A and B are shown apart, each in its own frame.
Chain A
Amino acid sequence: MLDRRGTGLMVLGAALLLLSVSMFGYSRLVEWQHSVQVQAGAPPTEVLANRLPIPTRGAGNTP
């Protein structure tokens, strides 16, 4: 009886793990597809600095 319960729990755990991995993988695939689709609207690729100097005064200018 205990063995059956243990086996059942193992099967259940494996199923849940498989489901989680599948959902995660599927979401990454959908995310990738989405990123490809929206790239058409992306700004042109350009060299951007990782860091910028922090202004000592607020730059509140408007166009």
Chain B
Amino acid sequence: MLLAVGSGLRGSVLARSNDSNALSDPGFGAAEWMRIPSIGVDSQVTDVGIVDGFYDVPWFDVGHHADSHNPGDLGNCIFNGHVATINAGEVFRRLDELQRGDAVYVYTPAYRLDWVVTDTFPVDQDDNSFLDDTSQPRVTLYTCTGQFNPIERSYAERLVVTAQLVQTGPR
């Protein structure tokens, strides 16, 4: 198992330019909790911003890119989380076990949004194309994968999981 020193994963994905429309539509509201039963994720969601040019990753929670869309909006709603660390959490430790068809549940203050995994794939650490906006509601989850570089305290790749909205309902 690859180990990293917690905040070292903070620099996992280079920040991209803000989308001024991302937070303008009230829609379903902000994500506050995520459950992925097939891999045991049951976590609070915390908004994350950009620190030193990179998206931050919460110590223990699932992180939501504050400049991405809210879940259910027309666009890409992006979440991150640690995979394996010595001194921080590992909320996405089993993200690599997700398969097409697995369910992801995102809770907002008033709604539960049900998503189904449609794709999982690794990308190079410098490939930020998975952060691009989309024309349909989409959830993107990512964490670190590949070889760990202890000097740079970063992994060589990112594991990306995308999910499509299935249904919504009140909590």
The residue from A20, A24, A35, A54 contacting B116, defined by CB atoms under 8 A apart:
A54
Interfacial chain A residues near B167, Cβ < 8 Å = 59
Which residues from 16 to 43 on chain A have a C-beta closer than 8 Å to any C-beta of chain B?
20, 23-24, 26-27, 30-31, 34-35, 38, 41-43
Asked if A54 meets B100 with Cβ closer than 8 Å, knowing A27-B87, A35-B60, A41-B33, the reply is yes
Interface residues on B, range: 35 or more
> Interface range on chain A: under 10, 10 to 19, 20 to 34, or 35 or more?
20 to 34
- Is A5 located at the chain interface by the 8 A CB criterion? no
Q: In the assembled complex, which residues on chain B have CB atoms less than 8 Å from the CB atom of A59?
A: 137, 164-167
How close is B145's CB to chain A, nearest CB, in angstroms?
20
Cα of A51 to Cα of B44 in the assembled complex, Å: 21
Q: A6 an interface residue at 8 Å Cβ cutoff?
A: no
Q: Report the minimal beta-carbon distance from B83 to chain A, rounded to whole angstroms.
A: 14
Q: Is B30's CB within 8 Å of the partner chain A?
A: no
Contact A27 B85 (CB under 8 A): yes
Q: Roughly how many angstroms separate A63 CA and B32 CA in the complex, as a whole number?
A: 18
**Does B149 sit at the interface, judged by CB under 8 A?**
no
Structural contact, A52 and B116, CB atoms closer than 8 A: yes
A57 to chain B, nearest CB (A): 10
Beyond A53-B116, A54-B101, whether A60 also contacts B136 by CB under 8 A is: yes
Residues of A within 8 A of B (CB): 20, 23-24, 26-27, 30-31, 34-35, 38, 41-44, 48-55, 58-63
